[in-house]
Amino acid sequence: MQWETVIGLEIHAQLATRSKIFSGASTAYGAAPNTQACAIDLGMPGVLPVLNEQAVRMAVKFGMAIEAEIAPYSVFARKNYFYPDLPKGYQISQFELPIVGNGHLDILLDGEIKRIGVTRAHLEEDAGKSLHEDFHGLTGVDLNRAGTPLLEIVSEPDMRSAKEAVAYMKKLHALVRYLEICDGNMQEGSFRCDANISVRPAGQQEFGTRTEIKNLNSFRFVEKAIDFEVERQIDLLESGGVVVQETRLYDSTRDETRSMRGKEEANDYRYFPDPDLLPVVIEDALKEEVKAELPELPDVKRERFKSQYGQDQDTASALTSSRELADYFEALVRESGCDARLCSNWVMGELAGALNKDALEITDSPIGHERLAGLLKRIADNTISGKIAKQVFEEMWQGDATADAIIEAKGLRQITDSGAIEKIIDQVIADNPGQVEQYLGGKEKLFGFFVGQVMKATQGKANPAEVNRMLKEKLR
């Protein structure tokens, strides 16, 4: 039978505020345990939560970026459950009236644009962290994270493959970073994902029973967990079994999903409006202010790159996949004054490769746009060839010298003096009479041999176009 996969994602983005959503405790990552958990975060009796203005603005900003309705009136609710990292016995969240309503996000996959619906996005507080090892049979609880603002972004069940799910998640990741509302650091848990997955016979209207995979914190895990879970469900159904609605956990070391707990009990959260918090009213004035702060969004930037720099879809998409990368590229074009194509080739080629190899982000690049511009200028004015430029680039990567300094120190300046090149060519021809005879006799492949000999004799510094032209003349 043909099966169709149906996926919806719930993404938790930690908002990049300085203080917590309902208290004045710091949200900085990496502090000693419980040094950033104040009386409000601990759920001490008699405390009152007070909402962080910045968290509200960030939620509104996100809503505007996905063209969603911003609720003029939204309400916080208590989601009740017991766990040691949730000191109050409830999480303050939003239920019936979330701050962000229906919106959408367009993803690009295999050259096609697909629109994914966003059902809602709501504000809530994060829980603390439980550490289950090394405490002689007890669990250690660190509540520094408790009360960190989260935006939970819930998609429609619009995705039909793990690849689409990853494309959506990446797009959202880029967007929250463009908006500067979330640092997107997945290792630190700032951006994490729960996936709802079901399968149904192709052509069937109603959805199959779904399972939810919790806490996927990398793009690769999302893809692998979904692929595994889809296969598990199909195998189960094809062998006559049924899928049980439940929460599952992805185990990356074994590459499998495991049942976590029955969902029916977990689902009984008994939401009710939190009497400690008043309804949140978003005035038009605030929306106008936030709108004015919106940066150029990824899709708009991609289209601009296509028209302004004559880029194809793939190049423009790759360069605008993060705001920092796009900024780097544009600064490089400005600084170097070089052709945009030369700039994009170097950014997407040598630079991306070197960053990847050292597992660095563009923001940590040892070669800033000014230094790379210095190198590209020397390619553009024919001081060095593209091949020598790669050598210079490697030198630059290791230290902080400019391209010009390296070219001078190593004597890499291209030989453009045709007299000098001619001399070397004559020498090469004189040294290889056998090959010359064969070449003239019709073995044209040998042309490459002569070019190689000349380049070798000049240590790659001869202008390749010039060498080709002169060799052709000499070997007639």
Contact 453, 432 (CB under 8 A): yes
Instruction: For residue 300, state whether it binds another protein (rule: CB under 8 A).
Output: no
Give residue for tokens 């004054």: 337
Instruction: For residue 32, state whether it binds another protein (rule: CB under 8 A).
Output: yes
The distance between the two most distant Cα atoms of the chain, rounded to a whole number of Å, is 99
Instruction: For residue 267, state whether it binds another protein (rule: CB under 8 A).
Output: no
Instruction: For residue 36, state whether it binds another protein (rule: CB under 8 A).
Output: yes
For another protein, the closer CB: 179 or 318: 179
Contact set for another protein, span 57-96 (CB under 8 A): 75, 80, 82-84, 96
Q: What's the chain's length in residues?
A: 476
CB of residue 187 vs another protein: minimum separation in angstroms? 21
CB-based contacts of 348-355 (< 8 A; 24+ apart in sequence): 348/315, 348/318, 348/319, 350/390, 350/393, 354/393, 354/397
Q: Which of 260, 208, 195, 253 is nearest to 234 (CA)?
A: 208
Indicate the DSSP class of residue 381: T
For another protein, the closer CB: 1 or 138: 138
- Total residues contacting another protein by CB under 8 A comes to 51
Token digits of residue 236: 């189960």
Q: Which stretch binds another protein (CB under 8 A): 42-50, 103-111, 206-214, 439-447?
A: 42-50
CB of residue 409 vs another protein: minimum separation in angstroms? 49
Give residue for tokens 């453009």: 416
For another protein, the closer CB: 56 or 197: 56
CB of residue 228 vs another protein: minimum separation in angstroms? 22
Instruction: For residue 281, state whether it binds another protein (rule: CB under 8 A).
Output: yes
Token digits of residue 294: 């919106």
The DSSP-derived string for 83-109 is -TT-TTSEEEE--SS-SB-SEEEEEEE
Query: C-alpha distances in angstroms, 320 versus 3, 104, 174, 181, 344?
Result: 35, 19, 9, 18, 11
Return the sign of the alpha-carbon dihedral for residues 415, 416, 417, 418: positive
Q: Which stretch binds another protein (CB under 8 A): 183-191, 237-245, 273-281, 344-352?
A: 273-281
Instruction: For residue 46, state whether it binds another protein (rule: CB under 8 A).
Output: no
CB of residue 371 vs another protein: minimum separation in angstroms? 36
For another protein, the closer CB: 42 or 455: 42
Instruction: Indicate which single residue of 23, 311, 383, 463 sits in contact with another protein (rule: CB under 8 A).
Output: 23
Instruction: Show the binding pattern over residues 125-144: x = contacts another protein (CB under 8 A), - = does not.
Output: -----xxx--x-xxxxxxx-
Instruction: For residue 399, state whether it binds another protein (rule: CB under 8 A).
Output: no
Alpha-carbon torsion, ordered 284, 287, 288, 289, to 10 deg: 120
Instruction: Indicate which single residue of 3, 10, 29, 33 sits in contact with another protein (rule: CB under 8 A).
Output: 33
Instruction: Indicate which single residue of 115, 160, 220, 270 sits in contact with another protein (rule: CB under 8 A).
Output: 270
CB of residue 89 vs another protein: minimum separation in angstroms? 8
Q: Which of 18, 9, 98 is nearest to 62 (CA)?
A: 98
Alpha-carbon torsion, ordered 163, 164, 169, 175, to 10 deg: 130
CB of residue 93 vs another protein: minimum separation in angstroms? 14
For another protein, the closer CB: 117 or 140: 140
Ramachandran angles phi, psi of 258, nearest 5°: -130, 150
Q: 78 has which bridge partners?
A: 92, 272
Positions in the binding site for another protein (CB under 8 A): 17-19, 23-26, 32-39, 42, 44, 50-56, 75, 80, 82-84, 96-97, 130-132, 135, 137-143, 268, 270, 273, 275, 277-281
